[in-house]
Amino acid sequence: MHFALLVLALAAVNQATAPTPNPPDQQVERVRAALEKPPSKLTVSEVRADFSVHIEVRRPLQDIFDKPVWQLPPIGWQPPAVGYTAFGGIPMVNLDLMAIGGAVARAVNDARHAHAAHNASEEVRQAIAEYCAVQPNAATISICSGTGR
């Protein structure tokens, strides 16, 4: 098998590199010369599949008929209680927790902002008062007399 592949490879290389065909004797000599060379050290191992496929055919409504009628549903999450009216089921309690959480976060953020603004304005008033206290002509300075506000 390797011999046949080698011959085909050499023939393909020969055709790709030589634009003019060689006489038959030269081609035979080239093949003999190639066969006298030592074999290639390149070894290619056979690749085996490392996966499997499982195909299962499911019949329509199979899950309904596979479970016995007397088997209870699994314990876990239960849907919320529903009250029934003439118009169908209506949830007893409907809370949008994301909206509530967003409103609480906005209220906290607004309170922090208001507190920071109040502290900043107090710091500015204190700094102006300290500045005006050390000025000899504080009455003529508009920010100290209150006319510049």
* Structure confidence at residue 17 (pLDDT): 56
Contact 32, 12 (CB under 8 A): no
Q: What is the pLDDT of residues 55-73, one digit of tens each?
A: 888 777 777 777 777 777 6
* Structure confidence at residue 113 (pLDDT): 92
Helices vs. strands in the chain: H and E counts, helices first: 5, 2
Residues contacting residue 149 through CB under 8 Å, at least 6 positions apart: 143
* Structure confidence at residue 120 (pLDDT): 93
* Structure confidence at residue 91 (pLDDT): 57
Helix, strand, coil in percent for the chain, rounding step 5: 50, 5, 40
Give the burial class of 36: count Cβ atoms within 10 A of its Cβ; 0-12 exposed, 13-18 middle, 19 or more buried: exposed
The model scores a pTM over 0.85: no
* Structure confidence at residue 51 (pLDDT): 86
Interatomic CA distance for residues 39 and 21, integer angstroms: 27
* Structure confidence at residue 122 (pLDDT): 93
Strand segments, DSSP code E, in the chain are 82-85, 88-91
Residues of the chain with pLDDT under 50: 149
DSSP state of 129: H
* Structure confidence at residue 19 (pLDDT): 54
